[in-house]
Structure 1
Amino acid sequence: MKHALLAKCAQLIAPILKGQGSLSQTLEPMLSNLDPSERGLAHQLVLGTFRQGPRLERIAQQLLQKPLKEKDQDVYALMLLGLYQLDFMRTADHAAINNTVDATQSLKKPWAKALVNGVLRNYQRDQQAIFEKLDNDICFHSAFPGWLAKRVKKFWPEQKDAVYQASNSQPAVTLRVNSSKTNTDAYAEQLSGEGIEFQRSPKTGVITLNQAIDITQLPGFAEGLISVQDSAAQFASQLMDLAPNQRVLDACCAPGGKTCAMLESQPNLSQMVAIDLEADRLKRVEQNLSRLNLSADLIAGDVSNTEAWWDGQSFDRILLDAPCSATGVVRRHPDIKYLRRPEDINALADTQFQLLNALWPLLNSGGVLLYATCSILPTENEHVIDRFLKQHQDVKIVPLDLPLGFAQQHGWQFLPEQHTDTTPGHDGFYYAKLIKA
């Protein structure tokens, strides 16, 4: 492993540890500037260090006599990368230590060489004692920030360990087969013919790949036969009860996976309106629609400010995939552990409630509004729906019965499930299906 690569990873990680920037903004640009042979390793190092970050930080705090200065957070990030290699990678210990120590030169901080070397070698020597000292530390055991680990424990006391484990694991690639062009059985045969190994969920039939692969090289990708979409998210189009000639709104639509899934499942809609706050994010929606040869009316705007974008014609179906904490997709976006704050959750719940209130008048009588989040916190899910039901008399909630997840008082909850040799796994997700009486 080149020590210069470790230094670049440390420089990317350091600001995010302090809640500045995000992997969605910085990871791809960094990877694109690397030699292709280094990209996979860099991706693994960065995401793995964030997945285990709170645990690694607890270890580092035991080994450091005092916190590093703000300007030296790249050295701190380098230490976390070193600890991650020692605990979670197959790199020989001596190579992991030497490369991490040498990376201080690439950071132009040769003074840190002895410090990094001492921390990593002391960890090797004192690992058992450190583990014993942290035995009752929830961050160490969960690799979650303390406030979030405690909320998972509070809301899901029986499932908490499985949630932590699944959220800290590497997700597999799950495919959505384009039902307007083929079917899952036929596509599974294509994969088998190409020698590509996969699983099919015994409960849903959805295809999950056994190994990471360049998606663009899968058979039929360019022709729009498949897209990447988690199995929990794939229920959205099914729950919408789409029929020909309906007018549909996909609110908060980017990156467009659910927009495309709805159009695939029902090509004869009268109109699909897809709106998102940021015009830049709509470019991704355009790309997905184009590859799949689908069309929708895209609008850049604030969903809650309906006067600015709504034409006055009501909708038969509305999907509100509401902005949320994304605590159900931490395994895909592990920097969430550093970007979310405890105070964000109630603020997000208020936003979700406001969006429901704004969109409800746009729905036809007898129409369906599907409320969805990728959160595992009831504060953003059934508590929001409960609040909405108490303030609106013209709402009927539809009981759901899905092959994955479990029922809540209002709606249906998926908790993150780890991918194994026998279980495809899925993200954390929530749905509530509302009909306008």
Structure 2
Amino acid sequence: MSHKPQTHQAGASPRPAAARPQSPRTGDSSTAQSLPLWRQLQVAAAVVQAVRAGRSLTAELASVTPELRPGVQALTFQVMRQLGRAMALREKLANKAPPPAADALLCTALALSWQGDDAPYPVHTLVNQAVEAARQQRQTQPQSGFINGCLRRFLRERETLVAETDNDPQARWNHPRWWVTRVQDEYPEDWQKLLDMAQQPAPMSLRVDTRHHSVAEYQAQLLVIGLATQAVGASGLQLERAVPVHQLPGFAQGHVSVQDAAAQVAAPLLLQGREAGQAWRILDACAAPGGKTGHLLACYPNAQVLALDVDAERCQRIAENLQRLGAQNEARAEVRAADAAQPAQWWDGVAFDAILLDAPCTASGIVRRHPDVRWLRRPGDSAQLAQTQARLLKALWPLLSPGGRLLYCTCSVFRSEGEDTVQAFLQHNTDARMLPSPGHLIPGKIPTGLPVKHNALGEHDGFYYALLEKDRD
């Protein structure tokens, strides 16, 4: 029942500018440095075509050969962030869409080149190599002349064509029109900031396990190796630049984890104000990939945590994460593949003191990290997911002991998956009351209602939190 997309790289979106131009030449090589750009564009276009057909960018990138993956990943992230403009430009250049493979290659080239200053390669190089990519591939070779004509016209008339698409909300904001409208309606004062921030690569944030080091001590370790940071939240650090996790001191030993500052709110909020040393019995429903599970075990040293996920493969990821953190060695965590909405299949009848429900959602709050999300979602998805969220709340609430707490959260900025869902639940459950809660954490806005020890969250993702307590009577 998990919704959380897999991370592409240690918590940070790659920056397309990292893929600098090499001398294009034919023939493949075992190193990324010698791979011709036209080949990278071919593979990037195939990934874009798959996303437009409804498949996850994460899964598609995982299937790309290792020598191609870094360049293709950087290119496709930029394409996803500029796809709205690219599609609008393609419509200006050709009213009728070419076959899907050719259309994906054409849109890929337009997305990468329409902003000359931000293009990962010189625009003429991108155009020439995109045409070469079309010629070199069976699926697109018949349309290579069409692609060449469209891109040459784009080069000649770029300023005019871009100006003609400026009034299209999907082109201007690079989100589907329905998404733009919804954000405008729900955040009339902040909608532009929200959409603009979604275009920026997300920062890499860390959670320090303070059982090993204080935040200040670990910050000093990073500075020694040239990594500057700022403190975020209660035990977090935000890096000025993303790095592979193997460069982080003590990562393999579980001294630090990659986790967004907004996601770090969950564990300390769940039992805020209660004795951390109690032997709490905690359920982490929809737990994959296990970041919050590990944080729960770090915050509550005597707790017993049951971590559920409906996907057995994702449960393996939870187990691996807990193994790195040393949590499973302490025999305080059990990982089980099960549907949280079907307690009869897995619950032993013993009530939980606390439940963390990180519910399935549109992931609209983490679109910076997963820029394909905006193109995968459909207008009705939020309402459908709200029904799933309500079903989970209804199923799990009876499992909570009197006086126990349930923390409901989603990584969505849509109110139908946050405030609306919780208010509907409260109307139908008179034994539930809302405790002070952050509500919607919106990127770019100073959050309120956080646990007392939390500092500013930095450039955090979009989240929703509601802390519910069950009456003792």
Match of 1:34 in 2: 66
The question of whether the paired residues in 2 share the 8 Å contact of 1:172 and 1:424 is answered with no
Match of 1:432 in 2: 466
Please state if 1:206 is matched with 2:233.
Answer: no
Match of 1:226 in 2: 256
Q: Which whole-Å deviations, capped at 9, do the CAs of 1:227-263 have from their partners, x for residues lacking one? A: 1000000000110115420000000000001001111
The one-letter code of the counterpart of 1:98 is N
The one-letter code of the counterpart of 2:406 is L
Match of 1:406 in 2: none
Pairwise CA RMSD of aligned residues?
1.8
Q: Which whole-Å deviations, capped at 9, do the CAs of 1:283-314 have from their partners, x for residues lacking one? A: 11011001111121111111111100000000
Shift of 1:115: 1.8
| Cα distance in 2 for residues equivalent to 1:90 and 1:436 | 54
Please state if 1:376 is matched with 2:413.
Answer: yes
| Cα distance in 2 for residues equivalent to 1:80 and 1:215 | 33
Please state if 1:413 is matched with 2:440.
Answer: yes
Shift of 1:80: 1.9
The question of whether the paired residues in 2 share the 8 Å contact of 1:18 and 1:338 is answered with no
Shift of 1:423: 9.1
Shift of 1:133: 2.1
| Cα distance in 2 for residues equivalent to 1:260 and 1:379 | 29
Please state if 1:56 is matched with 2:89.
Answer: no
| Cα distance in 2 for residues equivalent to 1:249 and 1:160 | 35
Distance of aligned partners of 1:371 and 1:243 in 2 relative to their CA distance in 1, 3 Å threshold: farther
Q: Which whole-Å deviations, capped at 9, do the CAs of 1:53-101 have from their partners, x for residues lacking one? A: 12221121111131123xxx12211112211221232411221111111
| Cα distance in 1 for residues equivalent to 2:325 and 2:96 | 54
Match of 1:288 in 2: 321
Shift of 1:215: 0.9
Please state if 1:190 is matched with 2:221.
Answer: yes
| Cα distance in 2 for residues equivalent to 1:94 and 1:134 | 21
288, 301, 307: which one aligns with 2:344? 307
Gaps of 5+ in 1: 401-410
Residues 101-110 or 275-284, more deviating: 101-110
The one-letter code of the counterpart of 2:388 is T
Residues 238-247 or 203-212, more deviating: 203-212
The one-letter code of the counterpart of 2:79 is T
Distance of aligned partners of 1:376 and 1:74 in 2 relative to their CA distance in 1, 3 Å threshold: same
The one-letter code of the counterpart of 2:326 is N
Match of 2:110 in 1: 83
384, 387, 390: which one aligns with 1:347? 384
Match of 1:407 in 2: none
| Cα distance in 2 for residues equivalent to 1:333 and 1:399 | 30
| Cα distance in 1 for residues equivalent to 2:464 and 2:457 | 20
The one-letter code of the counterpart of 2:249 is P
Shift of 1:179: 1.9
Please state if 1:259 is matched with 2:296.
Answer: no
The question of whether the paired residues in 2 share the 8 Å contact of 1:370 and 1:434 is answered with yes
| Cα distance in 1 for residues equivalent to 2:210 and 2:457 | 24
5, 8, 22: which one aligns with 2:43? 8
| Cα distance in 1 for residues equivalent to 2:462 and 2:170 | 20
| Cα distance in 2 for residues equivalent to 1:349 and 1:256 | 23
Gaps of 5+ in 2: 1-21, 23-35, 446-455
Q: Which whole-Å deviations, capped at 9, do the CAs of 1:290-348 have from their partners, x for residues lacking one? A: 11111211111111111000000000010000000100011111111222111111111
Name the TM-score, length of structure 1 as normaliser.
Answer: 0.91
Please state if 1:329 is matched with 2:363.
Answer: no
Shift of 1:24: 2.4
Q: Which whole-Å deviations, capped at 9, do the CAs of 1:180-217 have from their partners, x for residues lacking one? A: 2222111001001112232334x767311122211122
Please state if 1:239 is matched with 2:269.
Answer: yes
Residues 305-314 or 342-351, more deviating: 342-351
| Cα distance in 1 for residues equivalent to 2:194 and 2:147 | 33
Q: Secondary structure at the match of 2:201?
A: coil
Q: Secondary structure at the match of 1:320?
A: strand
| Cα distance in 1 for residues equivalent to 2:235 and 2:305 | 27
Please state if 1:151 is matched with 2:182.
Answer: yes
The question of whether the paired residues in 1 share the 8 Å contact of 2:85 and 2:165 is answered with no
Name the TM-score, length of structure 2 as normaliser.
Answer: 0.84
The one-letter code of the counterpart of 2:413 is I
The one-letter code of the counterpart of 1:34 is P
Shift of 1:277: 0.6
Q: Secondary structure at the match of 1:140?
A: helix
Shift of 1:154: 0.6
Match of 1:119 in 2: 150
Q: Secondary structure at the match of 2:294?
A: helix
The one-letter code of the counterpart of 2:75 is L
Match of 1:179 in 2: 210
The one-letter code of the counterpart of 1:275 is L
